[in-house]
Amino acid sequence: MVVLNVGLKERSYPIWIGKGILDQLPDMLAGVGFPSRVAVITNATVAGLYADRVQQILSRAGFLVHLIEIPDGEKYKNIEVFTQVITSLIEQGFDRHSGLLALGGGVVGDLTGYVAASYLRGVPFVQLPTTLLSQVDSSVGGKTAVNHPLGKNLIGAFYQPKGVLIDVATLQTLEAREFASGMAEVIKYGVIRDRRFFSWLDDSVDALQNLDGSSLIHVVEKSCQIKADIVENDEKESHLRAILNFGHTFGHAIENLSGYGEVKHGEAVSIGMLVASRISLKRGYCTREDVAALSGLLRKFKLPIAVPEFSLDDYLEAMGRDKKVTAGRLRLVLNVGIGDCCIEDEPDPRQAFGAVLH
């Protein structure tokens, strides 16, 4: 087992990474002083796979456990389901000496985190991510949110978990499409921060797709360490943390226009990264070979690269509602070769995106 630390002074917390470590959950909770009364929030799919096991593990260790099940899918990451979870906590008499466990993927983690930040003005929570995307990205860093019909993650808060337990054995039950979606975020880390990691991914496609345990642990550890390093320097995205949005501005527009859940988050980010790299190429920040290397690796992991056929006006309108718009200007994260990146305010999005979408 690997243990990383997200260093945020009094809000610091551990990330436990390993294979078959779910049974050690009570030890982790005890280590961070977690309450003994907990609500496990999960979705219908994950509940059928892991809810009984988690409840038994916790009950044997003396925890009082209440299960809250939400529907499965991105379209349910909304204010209505958020309110339903809050109502359940109120009805069950949960107080500030209670805690929440997010058992599932990014939807469960984001929604549970926002509930934790909001309920009684804040109760502790722990992330138990079961998808690759949530293990390498959304479970770490304290971004919690629900979607609004006009934009993704527009309602939320920065609220750090007390800990993250990542058991890569849960990836054995993950659909291939969901695994590929998570790999988009992994590839992102290589593009913006670590060329050697990008090359390692290119050499390890078969091992990863065959769910080799040591390769998965390495991918999760490397991704979480890169994200933790960035979050430690910029917890609330005032500057550096924005680089984690590489591919996300255009990707979120794809998700919004397609209808949440129709295109997976990682699939949209895959397309968004390639669009961003083409803008980088136009500006001389990377070479055609860099764009080809990114496109090739995305293809190897069975990720889409073709831009959905919405109009430029539709894309511009959707991006204009993005969280990353500042003073009316869109901020773009652009790769500098493979392994580095920069952030630019874009004064003319129509020109920038029009030049690479047609």
- Between the CA of residue 30 and those of 27, 95, 161, what are the distances in Å? 5, 19, 14
Q: What are φ and ψ of residue 105, in 5° steps? A: -90, -155
Q: Dig out the tokens for 307 from the structure.
A: 């831009």
At residue 308, what are phi and psi to the nearest 5 degrees? -60, 150
- Which residues make up each annotated binding site for Zn(2+)? 185, 248, 265
Q: Residue 54: phi, psi to the nearest 5?
A: -65, -45
Q: Which helix (H) or strand (E) holds 58?
A: helix 52-60
Buried b (16+ CB within 10 A) or exposed e, 146-168: bbeeebbbeebebbbbbbbbbbb
Q: How far apart are CA 296 and CA 294, in angstroms?
A: 5
Single-letter code of the amino acid located at 124: P
Binding site for NAD(+), by residue number, is 72-77, 106-110, 130-131, 143, 152, 170-173
Distances (CA, A) of 110 to 48, 78, 107, 139, 357: 20, 10, 5, 8, 31
- Which segments are annotated as binding site? 72-77, 106-110, 130-131, 143, 152, 170-173, 185, 248, 265
